Amino acid sequence: MVGAVSAAFLAGVVVGPMVAVPGIQAWAQEGGRAETYRLLNLFGDVFERVRAEYVEPVTDRDVIENAINGMLQGLDPHSSYMNPRSFRDMQVQTRGEFGGLGIEVTQENGFVKVISPIDETPAFRAGIKPGDLITHLNGQSTQGLSLQDAVEQMRGERGSTIRLTIRREGEAAPLEISLTRDVIRPQVARFRLEGNDIAYIRLSSFNERTEGALRQAMTSMRNQAGSNLRGLVLDLRNNPGGLLDQAVQVTDDFLDQGEIVSTRARRPEDAQRWNARPGDIAQGLPIVVLINSGSASASEIVAGALQDHRRAVVMGVKSFGKGSVQTVMPIPGNGAMRLTTARYYTPSGRSIQATGIEPDIEVLASRADPAVTARERDRESDLRRSLRNGTTEAAPPPALPPLSLPAGVLERVVREPAEGATAFDPTKPETDHQLQQALQLLRAVAAAPPAQRRAQR
C-alpha cells in the first residue's frame, strides 16, 4: 500500500483520504534519519583518521571546535563558533571596557601601527605617539601576527605588565617601553562644536555605553552653544555596528514616533519590530548622517530609519550592507555559537542585506580615481556565501518620499574634493570633504525661511 501511494504522490496525483500521509511522512523521516546517521559516521571516520595520522599530534577539542566552526562558517560569513576565550572577548567588546594599554592600532607592512593613544591611559602616559610601529611584544616579533592576535596579547588583567619595542620616525634606535595594563574605557562618542553652531558627534561602535555617551555629548554641546546650535552631524563612517538594542535607542533619541527597525526570521511568528517613543534630544534641529562602505549593521539601522522618516539627510557613499541578525547562544562550558537567525528591514520595508543604505546625497571622501576604486574594501555582497537580499521583484519596498530641501541648497553640495585639495588628515577637520559638505548643507538649511526648514523634515 505504501509503495502504491508513494508512486501516486511522485506522479503528482492526489490520493483521496489523508490516512496514508502519516505512513509517507514516517518513511521520509526514517530515510532522512538514515542519511543523517550515515553522514555522522563519515564525520567519525574522518575524525579518527585525523587523530591517528595527522603529521603532528592534535587535541580532540581543537579538532571538534574547528569542525563546528567550519559547519557554521559554511552557512554565511557571520555565523561562527566562539571558544570560551573568544566568547569572553566578545562580551568585553559589548561592555565597552577591558584591561589593556589604551591604543588604537592598525596593521602596516606586517607590523602593528599606532593610530592614536586614548587620553589618560597607560599608553598615553608613556608617551606613545601616532605613527609608532610596534615591532615586538615582550621580545617577540609582531611580524606575521594577525592584528587580532597582537591586540589579544596587548590586552590582559589590570596591573599586569608588557614590554613594547617601538620604532619611531626620527629615532635612530628602537624604543623599549614597559607598560602596566589598566581598565580601558574607549571613548565611543567623540564630539565637538564646529564653528560654534553645529554639533558634531562621531559614534565608533554600538556597545552598552553608546546611547548614554550620545546623550552626554548632546547635552554638553547644547550647554556650550546655547541658542546658537543650528544642526547636528552624526558621523557613522567606519562604524562596524554592534548591539541591536543600542541602535534602536540611538535612533529613538531622534524620533518622536514610528517604526525604527523590524526583523524577519525563518518562521513568520518570530518576526519582531521596534517603535520610537516621544522625545527628540536634538529638539528638531536638522541632522546629516555621514556613512561610508565601513558603516555596517547597527550603523545601517540608524541611518536607514532616520532616512525613511526623513528625519535626517544621509550623506556619503553606500554602506556595507550587513542586514542580518546574529543570535549568540551560549553553550555551557564551551563558549557560544553565533548563528544568523533573521534579516533587518528599515521602516519602509527595505532589506539592508547585501544592498546597504544608499545616501540621499553622494559625496566622495577623495577625488574619483580608478586605482583607488579598485582597492575599495569589499562589501557584504562581495563576501562568499553572503545571504540574499530579503525583498523580491514581486514585492519591492515602497519608494521613499522625495528629499525636500530649501531651494538652492542641494546645488551647493560638491560631490568630490577640488583637484589638488589637501589630503585628508583625521586631526584636521578642514581636510574632511564629506564633513565640510555636511556643515555647509546644515548651515544653508538653518538660514532658510522657517517654512522651508520644516519641509526638510
Count the Cβ atoms, other than its own, within 10 Å of residue 257.
9
CB atoms within 10 A of CB 256: 13
Please give the torsion angle defined by the CA atoms of residues 320, 326, 328 and 329, in that order, rounded to the nearest 10 degrees: -160
Is 308 annotated in the active site?
yes
How far, in Å, CA of 57 to CA of 44, rounded? 18
Of 86, 297, 324, 386, the active-site residue reads 297
Q: What are phi and psi of 27, to 5 degrees?
A: -65, -45
Q: Which of 308, 351, 360, 386 is catalytic?
A: 308
Q: Which three cell numbers stand for residue 312?
A: 535626517
Q: Which of 182, 322, 386, 432 is catalytic?
A: 322
Active site residues: 297, 308, 322
